[in-house]
């Protein structure tokens, strides 16, 4: 393709929007188009925001990342929305808006976030063209825009975009200077590996013609993506939770398919493991947009198109239509949005949620179902990616209500990712999970804090996890049994101690109203209507507390990024019990 007198290479993808547009009367398609039109029409009346230095410096000085990121992600949302509308409808006014936002993104000091450029003002070895998650995503978004809409974009804009990608992504990546350009993610076993590897791999496929040069980039990108697969348990569990599964897999699947399209190859040949990984969301996405939020999982936005492709490839069951509420997520990523349009399959919108019991022994997550009730429990260890001290924690779902809940991720700040401060946050501490405090001790972080048994026997799950607590807790054993039947959920904790005088405090997390009914029972209600009850079988003292916690900057269900301090409150039911022997048992029933 000739752009402004210079011959440049842009691979024209075979991704098509025809099926999507042919289904314009479909309710979800109509909703997605309204989402695009609403955002584009709003942006047309506003100037492109400036990414100010006064906001950029906040992370280094105060630990706040949200203020700068609000403007940063507004750029991405504007770019993604005008790219999608241009690809769909090719209107002249939209093309102009698209060119302007592409130009503005090229003007940015850095495509990496300040949170990933710590020390840039004092350390000359930290460079603005560090290749982090968002730099890689930005390059992919621009490259995909050129592939889908390049013939409509002014040659000068296209040429500048390619030059910026070369300077900010290809040159640092091809230098192989891991420390200088932040390429640690190549060997990481987490979402970074798939996101960065997949995004850079696709960017190379779109913009590099030279076969030898492209081969080096593709091999390294494939290797990184395979490290993400290795991070998942053999039974498919993504230890970071389904929101990070979605983040990683949209780039993995998109890269894998583009790789097949242009070079007729795939990332990984282990189809059975990929199939198990593909099934994971159906295990933890229950129905009615209820998501299991262990670790730093947030309320989850899922990309319908990615699941359409996984179903086509592996025949896996997919979550129901309640999870596909928006076309783009709050960070306005294009990989999943474009493929929701390109791979849209209306027949799959009738998929039913998984209702059979699931026991995943490697990843140590289990679900039990009975009538309209579901219980989920985890084992694992306290050094998982995006870790919470949450061994033995559970969720109980009754109908469309999550009676005992997980708080999920806190608002992302510098302090939240500092090991010495992280577990002061209610979200990450075992105080913020439905778990016991033993002789004043909560769970400790680290790989040695682990479940030594995780077993299923009929409708009962057993978790043994004394090692999750400090040795000073005096525990010699701690076993939790969880069972579910038509009478409700039963939790039974058995404790062994080195001495006779011990204090146990069971904490149960609910976002609904809670009040004491009598000395052994608690009523849980919504708008003054009784929805559940908790009955303790031992004699103790019940306290009900209200504690504050934070959530990420807008829910994963939203398509917009917020800089507000999203403070929320949760009710914590405490059951205090004095054990005057070497052994104790606390049992309660929720129904």
Statement to judge: residues 439 and 399 lie in one domain:
yes
* Residue 23 DSSP SS3: coil
Statement to judge: residues 86 and 194 lie in one domain:
yes
Q: Which residue has the tokens 């043994």?
A: 464
> What's the structural domain count of the chain?
2
What is the rounded CA–CA span in Å between residue 34 and residue 41? 10
Task: Kindly report the pTM of this predicted structure.
Answer: 0.93
Question: Residue 289: pLDDT band by 50, 70, 90 thresholds?
Answer: confident
> In the predicted model, what is the mean pLDDT of residues 333-339?
97
Task: Identify the pLDDT of residue 199.
Answer: 98
Statement to judge: residues 170 and 224 lie in one domain:
yes
Residue range of the domain that includes 235: 2-350
> Where among 350, 377, 405 does a domain terminate?
350
386 closest CA partner among 294, 450, 470: 294
pLDDT of 1 over the 70 cut: no
> In the predicted model, what is the mean pLDDT of residues 44-52?
92
pLDDT of 453 over the 90 cut: yes
Statement to judge: residues 441 and 327 lie in one domain:
no
Statement to judge: residues 144 and 100 lie in one domain:
yes
Statement to judge: residues 546 and 529 lie in one domain:
yes
Residue 470's contacts (CB-CB under 8 Å, 6 or more residues apart) are: 441, 444
What is the rounded CA–CA span in Å between residue 499 and residue 458? 34
Statement to judge: residues 392 and 274 lie in one domain:
no
> In the predicted model, what is the mean pLDDT of residues 371-388?
95
For 124-160, the three-class secondary structure string (H helix, E strand, C coil) is CCCCCCCCCHHHHHHHHHHHHHHHHHHHHCCHHHHHH
Task: Identify the pLDDT of residue 6.
Answer: 52
Question: Residue 176: pLDDT band by 50, 70, 90 thresholds?
Answer: confident
Q: Which residue has the tokens 């490290």?
A: 227
Statement to judge: residues 177 and 195 lie in one domain:
yes
Statement to judge: residues 87 and 221 lie in one domain:
yes
Write out pLDDT tens, residues 213-225.
Answer: 999 999 999 999 9
Q: Which CATH number fits the domain that encloses residue 463?
A: 2.70.98.70
Q: How many of the other CB atoms lie within 10 Å of CB of 14?
A: 11
Write out pLDDT tens, residues 391-410.
Answer: 999 999 999 999 999 999 99
> Where among 350, 376, 400 does a domain terminate?
350
Residue 545's H or E segment, with its range, is strand 541-550
> In the predicted model, what is the mean pLDDT of residues 16-36?
97
Statement to judge: residues 270 and 365 lie in one domain:
no
pLDDT of 3 over the 60 cut: no
Question: Residue 122: pLDDT band by 50, 70, 90 thresholds?
Answer: confident
**Mean pLDDT over all residues of the chain?**
94
Q: Which CATH number fits the domain that encloses residue 25?
A: 1.50.10.100
> Where among 293, 324, 350 does a domain terminate?
350
190 closest CA partner among 393, 435, 386, 436: 386
Task: Identify the pLDDT of residue 124.
Answer: 83
Write out pLDDT tens, residues 357-376.
Answer: 999 999 999 999 999 999 99
Statement to judge: residues 502 and 563 lie in one domain:
yes
Q: Which residue has the higher pLDDT, 524 or 353?
A: 524
Task: Identify the pLDDT of residue 553.
Answer: 66
Task: Identify the pLDDT of residue 557.
Answer: 42
Statement to judge: residues 399 and 336 lie in one domain:
no
436 closest CA partner among 371, 384, 375, 502: 502
Task: Identify the pLDDT of residue 449.
Answer: 97
Which runs of consecutive H residues, i.e. helices, occur in 166-269?
Answer: 171-175, 178-181, 191-207, 211-231, 242-263
Beta strands in 391-464 (DSSP E): 394-398, 401-404, 436-438, 446-450, 453-457, 460-464
Task: Identify the pLDDT of residue 105.
Answer: 98
What is the rounded CA–CA span in Å between residue 447 and residue 445? 7
Question: Residue 354: pLDDT band by 50, 70, 90 thresholds?
Answer: confident
Phi, psi (degrees; rounded to nearest 5) at 227: -65, -35
């Amino acid at each position: 393709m000739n752009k402004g007198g210079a011959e440049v290479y842009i691979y024209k993808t075979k991704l098509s929007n025809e099926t999507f547009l042919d289904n314009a009367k479909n309710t979800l398609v109509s909703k997605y188009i309204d989402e695009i039109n609403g955002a584009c029409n709003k942006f047309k009346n506003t100037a492109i925001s400036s990414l100010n230095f006064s906001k950029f410096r906040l992370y280094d000085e105060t630990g706040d990342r949200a203020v700068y990121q609000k403007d940063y992600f507004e750029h991405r949302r504007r770019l993604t929305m005008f790219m999608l509308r241009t690809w769909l409808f090719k209107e002249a006014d939209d093309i102009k808006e698209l060119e302007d936002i592409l130009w503005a993104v090229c003007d940015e000091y850095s495509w990496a976030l300040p949170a990933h450029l710590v020390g840039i003002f004092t350390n000359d070895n930290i460079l603005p063209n560090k290749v982090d998650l968002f730099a890689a995503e930005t390059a992919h978004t621009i490259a995909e825009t050129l592939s889908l809409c390049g013939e409509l974009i002014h040659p000068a804009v296209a040429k500048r975009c390619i030059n910026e990608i070369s300077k900010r992504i290809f040159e640092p990546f091809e230098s192989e200077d891991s420390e200088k350009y932040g390429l640690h993610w190549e060997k990481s076993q987490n979402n970074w590996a798939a996101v960065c590897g997949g995004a850079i791999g696709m960017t190379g496929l779109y913009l590099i013609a030279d076969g030898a040069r492209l081969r080096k980039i593709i091999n390294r990108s494939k290797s990184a993506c395979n490290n993400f697969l290795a991070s998942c348990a053999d039974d498919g569990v993504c230890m970071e939770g389904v929101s990070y599964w979605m983040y990683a897999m949209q780039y993995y699947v998109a890269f894998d398919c583009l790789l097949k399209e242009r070079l007729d190859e795939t990332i990984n040949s282990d189809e059975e493991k990929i199939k198990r990984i593909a099934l994971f969301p159906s295990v933890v996405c229950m129905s009615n947009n209820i998501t299991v939020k262990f670790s730093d999982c947030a309320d989850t936005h899922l990309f319908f198109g990615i699941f359409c492709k996984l179903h086509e490839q592996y025949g896996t069951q997919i979550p129901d239509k309640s999870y596909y509420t928006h076309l783009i997520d709050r960070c306005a990523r294009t990989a999943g949005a474009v493929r929701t349009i390109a791979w849209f399959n209306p027949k799959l919108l009738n998929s039913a949620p998984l209702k059979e019991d699931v026991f995943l022994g490697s990843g140590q997550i289990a679900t039990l179902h009975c009538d309209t009730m579901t219980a989920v429990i985890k084992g694992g260890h306290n050094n998982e990616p995006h870790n919470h001290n949450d061994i033995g924690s559970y969720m109980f779902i009754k109908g469309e209500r999550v009676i005992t809940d997980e708080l999920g991720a806190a608002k992302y700040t510098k302090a939240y990712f500092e090991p010495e401060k992280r577990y002061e946050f209610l979200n990450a501490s075992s105080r913020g999970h439905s778990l016991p405090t033993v002789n004043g001790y909560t769970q400790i972080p680290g790989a040695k804090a682990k479940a030594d048994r995780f077993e299923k026997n009929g409708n009962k799950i057993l978790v043994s996890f004394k090692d999750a607590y400090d040795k000073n807790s005096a525990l010699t054993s701690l076993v939790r049994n969880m069972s579910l039947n038509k009478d409700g959920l039963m939790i039974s904790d058995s404790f062994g101690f080195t001495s006779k005088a011990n204090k146990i405090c069971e904490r149960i997390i609910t976002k609904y109203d809670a009040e004491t009914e009598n000395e052994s029972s608690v009523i849980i209600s919504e708008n003054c209507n009784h929805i559940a009850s908790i009955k303790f079988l031992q004699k103790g003292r019940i306290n009900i507390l209200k504690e504050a916690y934070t959530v990420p900057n807008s829910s994963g269900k939203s398509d917009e990024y917020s800089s507000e301090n999203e403070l929320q409150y949760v009710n914590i039911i405490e059951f205090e019990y004095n054990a005057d022997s070497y052994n104790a048992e606390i049992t309660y029933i929720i129904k």
